[in-house]
Structure 1
Amino acid sequence: MIEQFLWVIFPYACIVIFIVGHIFRYRTDQFSWTAKSSEFIEKKQLMLGSMLFHIGIMPVIIGHVVGLGIPASWMTAMGVSEHLYHLGAVYGGGLFGVITLVGMLILTSRRFTIRSVRKLSSASDLVVNTLLLFIVFMGMYATLFTNAVQPEFDYRETISIWFRGLFILQPDASFMRNVPVSFKIHALTGFAIFAFWPFTRLVHVWSVPLNYIGRSYILYRRHKSS
């Protein structure tokens, strides 16, 4: 029963909350859709942490999509051998994971240690920063340490199959039974952040100033001299 809850019910619940929560918030609370900026309070750490986080997170996301979404047999058919894939996952993923982790450390430290930034932050801001930092840390721990200690473990034969099963409505919790604890924690907290997402400032990532696209002019206001 616990196994079914963790690897079937909980992921689906997080996905439903993610979708319904976004719809509800957009319809009822559009004014808080964009994030409150703390740039005017402290800029140096924000710029460095944000730059490192964004440089690292995109390759990390792409790596997760490839590793979880594309079957190993398909990668082999495309000419990507197991050894080559492993090198990319460990060294490439490890590099960008470290960059992401350093960025999150800076951003989280900034939010907790700078009094003026902390005062501007809501409880959800602090929770999200902490949870994101923990997720990235567990991902790095699983990639660099768990894989080194348990080199025989292949997440593409367990986690990936379970993950794809969720999206074709054929979830099989048994694939997660013998997965190392670090990978399990990383997966569960990863789904948890999706459940938190609609109720935090994370929704601002969907805010794109589309009304500025295609605008070919900028208005300047001329001040009359007295």
Structure 2
Amino acid sequence: MRSAAPAVPLDVPPPENVQVTLGDVMLWGVLPYVVIAVLVLGSIWRYRYDQFGWTTRSSQLYEARILRIASPLFHFGILAVIAGHFIGLVIPQSWTRDVGISEGLYHAMALGIGLIAGVGTMVGIVLLIYRRRTTGPVFMATTRNDKLMYVVLVAALFAGLATTLISVFDPGITDYRETVSPWFRSIFIFQPDIAAMTAASLSFKIHTLWGLALFAIWPFTRLVHAFTAPLQYLFRPYIVYRSRGKRGAPGAVPPRRGWAPVGTPDRDRKGVPPQ
């Protein structure tokens, strides 16, 4: 995301005049659909054949002090990051302008909120990695799959923060709402705007490629648990306890000592006095 800055000439030609190469077609026209196919089909395969592995493999039992801080930081931060990406990529520039949000105000808000969310997420993931590396039982439970997931996730987060900071010090950077956003929306109508993405700045392209890599490995890592997060817990009713009923009421079961006989066949034989 970029900060509010005075309009300057773009150092790249407008999207309609960009020369699209075969590499651009493969990266921005073919690769997104390959990633989507891997994400969807991989998730279906994982759910059908690895439901017991569809879990975060919680390690809270081994260490909870750092986890109590790192986990909320990461999860709440990543939710804010996802919300920011949704607003920036899905909502067209004209919509925010129509509701009275100027470009300067939008970018200032995006920069402030984006930096807070990004830094919080990065601090959370760094603490989680530190905990996993320094806590013996947690480290022993770490697989190669987990290590790959952490590398790609940290790289995607770092690329996003770097893009935000670069946009602060480089006011001539291309506006992602005029390049990356139209390309992103065009993917879902099966008319990828390759020229728009080709005109984007290099930092946005790197961040996008790391994001695609993250989604490609998503179904095969512990990140898949995000698809079945127990959101229903937020809306479930309070727990209702049944009353035992009054003693002596019709149909009420009389109280019994915990050590009283339960009426097994050997105790119910004739001639055996009750204890």
Same fold (TM over 0.5): yes
Give the Cα separation in 1 of the matches to 2:91 and 2:141: 42
- Does residue 186 of structure 1 match 2:211? no
Point out the more displaced range, 200-209 or 29-38.
Answer: 200-209
Matches within 5 A, 1:61-210: 61-209=82-230
Matched residue type, 2:222: R
Matched, 1:13 2:21: no
TM-score for the superposition, normalised by structure 1: 0.89
> SS state of the match for residue 66, structure 2?
helix
Which residue of structure 1 lines up, in the alignment, with residue 265 of structure 2? none
SS for the counterpart of 1:171 is coil
Contact 1:132-1:193 within 8 A present in 2 as well: yes
Q: Structure 2: how far apart are the matches of 1:17 and 1:51?
A: 29
Question: Which residue does the alignment assign to 1:4?
Answer: 25
Paired with 1:211 and 1:112, the residues of 2 have a C-alpha distance of: 33
Root-mean-square deviation (CA, aligned residues, Å) is: 2.1
Distance 1:146 1:27, change over 3 A: same
> May I ask how many residue pairs the two structures share in their alignment?
221
Distance 1:218 1:174, change over 3 A: farther
C-alpha deviation, 1:116, in angstroms: 2.4
Q: Greater CA deviation, 187-196 or 139-148?
A: 139-148
Query: Secondary structure of the residue that 1:44 maps to in structure 2?
Result: coil
Distance 1:198 1:83 in 2: 38
Query: Aligned partners of 1:38, 1:65: CA distance in 2, in Å?
Result: 31
Does the CA-based 8 Å contact 2:167-2:173 persist in structure 1?
Answer: no
In the TM superposition, residue 210 of structure 1 has moved relative to its aligned partner by: 8.0
Report which stretch shifted further, 69-78 or 205-214. Answer: 205-214
Q: Any conservation in 1 of the 2:173–2:201 contact (CA below 8 Å)?
A: no
Once residues 43 and 197 of structure 2 are traced to their aligned partners in structure 1, the CA distance between those partners, rounded to angstroms, is 29
Kindly state the Cα deviation for residue 173 of structure 1 after the two structures are TM-superposed: 1.5
Partner of 2:251: none
Mapping 1:215-226, distance limit 5 Å:
216-217=239-240
In structure 2, give the amino acid aligned to 1:106: L
Are the equivalent residues in 2 in contact too, given 1:108–1:130 (CA < 8 A)? no
Closer/same/farther in 2, CA of residues 63 and 8 from structure 1, 3 Å limit? same
CA distance, structure 1, for counterparts of residue 231 and residue 187 of structure 2: 33
| C-alpha displacement of 1:74 | 1.1
Task: Give the corresponding residue for 1:43.
Answer: 64
Q: Give the TM-score normalised by structure 2.
A: 0.74
Structure 1 gap segments, 5+ residues each? none
CA deviation after TM superposition for structure 1 residue 155, in Å: 0.6
- TM-superposed deviation, 1:209: 4.9
How far apart are the structure 1 equivalents of 2:157 and 2:25?
Answer: 25
Instruction: Name which of structure 1's ranges 203-212 and 169-178 shifts more when overlaid on structure 2.
Output: 203-212
2:66 touches 2:127 (CA, 8 Å); kept in 1? yes
Partner-residue secondary structure (3-state), 1:126: helix
**1:153/1:111 Cα in 2 relative to 1: closer, same or farther (>3 Å)?**
same
Partners in 1 of 2:27 and 2:209 — Cα distance? Answer: 8
Deviation at 1:115, TM superposition (A): 3.3
Give the match for residue 252 of structure 2: none
What is the identity, as a one-letter code, of the residue corresponding to 1:104? Answer: I
Query: In the aligned structure 2, how far is the partner of 1:9 from the partner of 1:115?
Result: 43
